[in-house]
Amino acid sequence: MNPAQILNQASQFFTYRFKIAGAELTISSIFQIILWLTLLILFTRILKKFLKSRLLVKFKIDEGNREALSTIISYAFAVLGFILILQTTGFNLASIAVIAGGLGVGIGFGLQNITNNFVSGLTLLVERTVKVGDFVEFDGLSGYVKEIAIRATIIRTLDGSDVVVPNSKLVENKLVNWSLESYTGRIHIPIGVAYESDPLLVTEILLKSAYMESAVLSDPAPKVIFNGFGDNALHFDLQVWINRIDQKIPVTSSINFIVEYNLRQQGINIPFPQRDLWLRNPEVLNFGRRQREVPQELAEVHHRPIPSPAVKPLALRDLLRQVTYFQNLTDLELRQLIEIGYRKRLLASEILFHEGDPGNAFYIILSGSVEVYVEKINKHLTNLTAGKFFGELALMLGIPRTATVRAKEETILFVITNKGFEKLLRENPELSEVMVQELGKHQEELAQRQQQLREMGLVNAAEDDKNLRVWVRKRLKNLFSL
């Protein structure tokens, strides 16, 4: 067969005409359709990448919404392009629909999982309950949603591995999305202490430890739950809120280190399971001879000086009892006072408040020192060091600050705000009367404060009274809505 005959047969092969769904096609036109579909797929991928990485970024749309919009738009463009290609080649779409319906019955069973995953993927993209960048927990694994594709979703775990999860699994099963609205979340840290430990002191230490970790939020405030009495320990649960729940593991580790250190500083033991061994015939063992034979190295140890125990830091409970108005509170009432407060860190020369500011908080200096001065005339009044307190009268009576306070060095304060103090008085109505009686012992100072408020027009006519105790009682009720 000569070359001319070969070319002639090849030409006849590629130009051979046949009909499919009402369209007259040739082999060459089929190759053209394949080429156009390939170009359509490439263009669709480029379009999705352009929308996600460039165009939608200019509109300041977050990563999860960019992924959803770019995927839906690219899918719509691919469907539209596929229809146009079929129409330009002469396909009858009505005939194709009939054929597809017939084939769907036969092959639907084999492709039902793929179809289910495809529809589930569209559901995820439209509902946006799970978006790219979200931190999720699913089927025992935690990680970030890296991509939501047609068939499956890719989750990047905290260990750096990529897990491919069919979309239908995410739609049909329970999934925890930690970042659906925000990354803020609560973590629980169980702690057991020895039975001889003081529960109030333990509560104080746990709350102090929580505030020593910078990732812990002060609102909502950390909380300590006394879970009960175990076989070997008192069981507590430290509950803290953090601004990045995906940092749960390192934050928990950090708090555990801090808790262990603070418990050790206060001499509180973390127990371990113990068992007592009883010997039925102890006389069989020759303990007498062993006790007489003391090794030389042990004898030397007995003569070594015993190191003195480290000085324990002053407990916040003891500091609160130094405040006149709190000295008669029970341990349970002090525990509530400790729980409603929080710790505040001041840098050197940082201003805590200015004169004239609302007196809406009470402070105890845990470490460091502050200077109290009159800012207008630059007059130094006093310096306060660790263990001192200030602002308690302003908190209880709502009196404006009469001086400015700034840190002389890095300082840590224990703070009780009016919001927390109101909660304490609401939960303990009898406590307000205790405050009234204690405040009533300082008649001269109360008279000065009352006159100061009158001059500033801050005394309500309904609460004003010549009897200072009656005035204080009314003042507390109005300030804290008792």
**Domain edge (last residue) among 230, 265, 300:** 265
pLDDT higher than threshold 90 for residue 432: no
Whether residues 108 and 82 fall in one domain: yes
Whether residues 322 and 429 fall in one domain: yes
Q: What is the CATH number of the domain that holds 421?
A: 2.60.120.10
pLDDT of 128: 76
pLDDT of 429: 76
Whether residues 469 and 343 fall in one domain: yes
Specify if 6 maps to a domain.
Answer: no
Q: What is the dihedral of CA 447, 452, 453, 454, to 10 degrees?
A: 90
Give the three-state DSSP class for 424. helix
Sheet with 141-148, strands from edge to edge, namely 162-166, 152-157, 141-148, 135-138, 176-177
Specify if 304 maps to a domain.
Answer: no
Q: What is the CATH number of the domain that holds 261?
A: 3.30.70.100
Whether residues 337 and 448 fall in one domain: yes
Average pLDDT, the chain: 79
Report how many domains make up the chain. Answer: 4
Sheet with 389-390, strands from edge to edge, namely 342-346, 411-417, 361-367, 389-390
pTM of this prediction? 0.58
Listed residue (267, 52, 14) closest to 148, CA to CA: 52
Specify if 306 maps to a domain.
Answer: no
Q: Which of 202-211, 247-256, 273-282, 434-443 is least confident?
A: 273-282
Whether residues 115 and 200 fall in one domain: no
pLDDT of 298: 45
Domain interval for residue 431: 316-480
Specify if 280 maps to a domain.
Answer: no
Specify if 298 maps to a domain.
Answer: no
For 148-176, what is each residue's pLDDT tens digit? 877 888 899 888 889 999 888 888 888 88
In 63-146, which ranges are continuous DSSP H helix? 63-88, 93-127
Specify if 89 maps to a domain.
Answer: yes
Residue that the structure tokens 């012992």 belong to: 441
pLDDT higher than threshold 90 for residue 191: yes
Q: Are 210 and 149 in contact (CB under 8 A)?
A: no
Distance (Å, rounded) from C-alpha 236 to C-alpha 230? 10
Average the pLDDT over 339-346 and give the result. 86
Whether residues 106 and 160 fall in one domain: no
For 365-412, what is each residue's pLDDT tens digit? 988 999 999 988 888 999 999 888 888 888 888 888 888 999 999 998
Q: How far is CA 411 from CA 220, 311, 312, in A?
A: 23, 20, 19
Q: Can you list the pairs that 97-106 forms with residues at least 24 positions away whose Cβ atoms lie under 8 Å?
A: 99/21
Whether residues 210 and 171 fall in one domain: no
Whether residues 347 and 471 fall in one domain: yes
Specify if 270 maps to a domain.
Answer: no
pLDDT higher than threshold 70 for residue 95: no
Cis peptide before 190 (omega within 30 of 0): no
Q: Are 369 and 408 in contact (CB under 8 A)?
A: yes
Average the pLDDT over 453-464 and give the result. 72
pLDDT higher than threshold 50 for residue 457: yes
Whether residues 326 and 452 fall in one domain: yes
What is the percent of the chain where pLDDT is above 70? 79
Listed residue (240, 136, 243, 134) closest to 184, CA to CA: 243
Whether residues 325 and 453 fall in one domain: yes
For 58-89, what is each residue's pLDDT tens digit? 777 766 567 667 777 887 888 888 878 777 76
**Domain edge (last residue) among 177, 209, 240:** 177
Distance (Å, rounded) from C-alpha 244 to C-alpha 184? 6
Whether residues 159 and 208 fall in one domain: no
Kindly state the helix (H) or strand (E) to which residue 342 belongs, with its residue range.
strand 342-346
Q: Are 366 and 346 in contact (CB under 8 A)?
A: no
Distance (Å, rounded) from C-alpha 204 to C-alpha 356? 32
Confidence of residue 291 (pLDDT cuts 50, 70, 90): low
Whether residues 441 and 341 fall in one domain: yes
Listed residue (249, 61, 67) closest to 154, CA to CA: 67
Q: What is the CATH number of the domain that holds 55?
A: 1.10.287
Specify if 12 maps to a domain.
Answer: no
